[in-house]
Structure 1
Amino acid sequence: MNKFPPVVLLLIATILWGGNFVIGKAVANDLPPFTLAFFRWCVALIIFLPIIYTSLKREWPQIKKHWAIILALGFTGIAGFNTLIYISLHYTTSINASLMNMLTPVIIYMLSFLFLHERLNRNQIIGTAISFIGVITIISNGSLEALRHFRFNKGDLIVIIALVLWSVYSLLVKQYAKELPGHSTFFVSIAVGIVMLLPFYIYETLTTTMVVHWSATSIFAILYTGILASIVAFIAWNTGVVKLGTNRAGIYLNLIPVFASIFAVIFIGEKIVLSQVIGGLLVLIGVYWTGRKIAEKKQIK
């Protein structure tokens, strides 16, 4: 993938991740969430093993030193985030879920402030407030009645929990980027995530009333999420980030809901409503605002 321009690589990653939301919604009635998540990562592990095997052997001692961090990465980024997204898609639209995904940078700022004691500047506070209003607009469907009675779609609330886990995962990756090898760490995190998902998958299989429909569509969903949305997107994104830089690459994440919305309308017949457009724009403005630099030196601790 090094032959491709960084912009192309980042577009490939965001297109594939946008499709992940739509695929999850499309098979929500065919594959229970833990089943989809478990088989997705099993496929990813099998496909990734021959690619990473040589590096993994060389870097294994380095990874073992940080086993606690690896467990946390496996829980938050592999077992937790994706499974909660698939659960949420049983109750909300793929458009809503993908729009809320834009809130991730804001959550990262907030967690950095709370737990890493990083300072927040005025623009980050303003941007967080704007993004919060945008999310409220999306999950309330623009209804004041829903706000008064707090009758938000529980799928949207599950998405928020998932985004918190992903933000924790992102912070851990950032904090230990120099100490942990990227690809090998990702592979071992997948293995850890699978182990964590296994008991939930077994429990779901034994107790769910939902019948698993093994069809060409469900198999395609597992292969798509396991190969394209996991391995291909991950390698494309990381290669693009290395070439373009983290800050410049980060803005491309906001294309995920754009592609997800297009795919949702074309392939599964979802409709975009005004509250989603307004809420998504507010979140986007908020994310942009948090990234703005200010001239003044005064900051809030």
Structure 2
Amino acid sequence: MIPPLLWAGNAVVGRMVAPLIPPMMFNFLRWFLSLFILLPMASWIFRPGSGLRSHWRHFALLGLLGAGLYNALQYLALQTSTPLNVTLVGSSGPLWTLAMGYLFFGARVTRPQMMGAVLSIVGVAIILARGEWAQLMALQLVPGDLYMLLATISWAWYSWLLARGTAPDGIRNDGTAFLLAQVMFGVGWSGLLAAGEWTLTDAQIHWGLPLVAALTFVVIGPAVLAYRWWGMGVQRAGPVVAGFFTNLMPVFAAILSALVLGEMPRPYHAAAFLLIVAGIAISSRR
């Protein structure tokens, strides 16, 4: 339950700092600072024989999907969408996890899972349509919702790689080392995205106490702690079961958004959330 709570807070904070810092740069600073927290605790992975060098492609892909693409797309989504909408779209993650497992990892999909997938798709469609089907038919979508869909697909792939990846046992059995191996590549990917953003746009950073406080929170909570605990949960319970708990994010985001941003949920948010949860509950039945 703790990672979804921290990630819901990450969505709210990302929305708050949107006027202060470009999304790609915010993501880069998040992981760059996280790297310095993790280094003293697991620097042994750089020693010869740790397995990092022989499995660098695996960790590079994890760094791209998790630290690079997922978080960058989420912060980009928060430029035009709300934390509640972003987390609701993200709660379709178990659906994409099922699809990813079937297509690429040989996981079997049952009839209840297919029924649950249909309910989840309807729930996501309600969010994208803002409760008005005419908007969906006219393809009048908020860009942030589409960015979050791409981020969610990236996260599904990331979760399967956590569960069935080829990381060496020494690094995999040490949660901090496993995260550090991903983050060191994630910093590189997020740095490339930030450099492109800085080059192609008129990006500016407005430093001050609010931005410093936001960076402190996202580095310690949603980055270091949540990612480590999520990786441990996926390895023990599997990506599908762990993915069910991401559906708690909209609940936490709704509460935090109302308290911090004054963005009250609307009736279609509740309808969409119920459909998504029902879909995942049916999908998870044995």
TM-score, normalised via structure 1 length: 0.86
Measure how far apart 1:164 and its partner are: 0.5
Q: 2:127 corresponds to which residue? A: 138
Structure 2 residue runs without a partner (length 5+): none
Measure the CA separation in 1 of the matches of 2:137 and 2:242.
39
**1:118 aligned residue (84, 107, 110):** 107
Q: Distance in 2 between the 1:237 and 1:194 partners?
A: 19
Shift of 1:74: 0.9
Identify the residue that residue 167 of structure 1 maps to in structure 2. Answer: 156
Calculate the aligned-residue CA RMSD, in Å: 2.1
Instruction: Give 3-state SS (helix, strand or coil) of 1:62's partner.
Output: coil
**TM-score, length of structure 2 as denominator length:** 0.91
Partner of 1:214: 207
For residue 238 of structure 1, report the CA deviation from its aligned partner: 5.0
Aligned mate of 2:42, from 29, 32, 52: 52
Spell out the pairing of 1:285-300 with structure 2 (5 A cutoff). Answer: 285-293=278-286
Segment of structure 1 superposing worse, 206-215 or 120-129: 206-215
The separation in 2 between residues aligned to 1:245 and 1:117, in whole angstroms, is 17
CA contact (8 A) 1:63 1:185 kept: no
The equivalent position to 1:26 in structure 2, one of 16, 34, 43, is 16
Deviation of residue 251 (structure 1)?
Answer: 4.0
Instruction: Give unmatched runs, 5+ long, in structure 1.
Output: 1-10, 294-301
Deviating beyond 6 angstroms after TM superposition, the runs of 4 or more aligned structure 1 residues are none
Q: Letter of the aligned partner of 1:107 in structure 2?
A: W
**Following TM superposition, by how much is the alpha carbon of 1:236 offset from its aligned partner in structure 2, in angstroms?**
4.1
Over the matched positions of the two proteins, sequence identity in percent amounts to: 28
1:274 counterpart = 2:264: no
Q: Who is 2:33 aligned against?
A: 43
The number of residues matched between the two structures is 281
User: What is the distance in 1 between the residues matched to 2:54 and 2:147?
Assistant: 33
Give the aligned partner of residue 264 of structure 1: 257
Q: Determine whether 1:187 maps to 2:180.
A: yes
Partner of 1:78: 67
Give how far 1:40 is off: 0.2
User: Hey, what does 1:176 align to over in structure 2?
Assistant: 165
> Contact conserved, 2:58 with 2:167, CA < 8 A, in 1?
no
Q: Deviations over 1:155-207 (max 9, x none)?
A: 11110000011111111111127745233232121111111222332232344
Is the CA contact (8 Å cut-off) linking 1:146 and 1:152 kept in structure 2?
yes
| 1:102 counterpart = 2:79 | no
Note the C-alpha offset of 1:241: 6.8
Give the corresponding residue for 2:2.
12
Choose from 273, 277, 284 the match for 2:277.
284
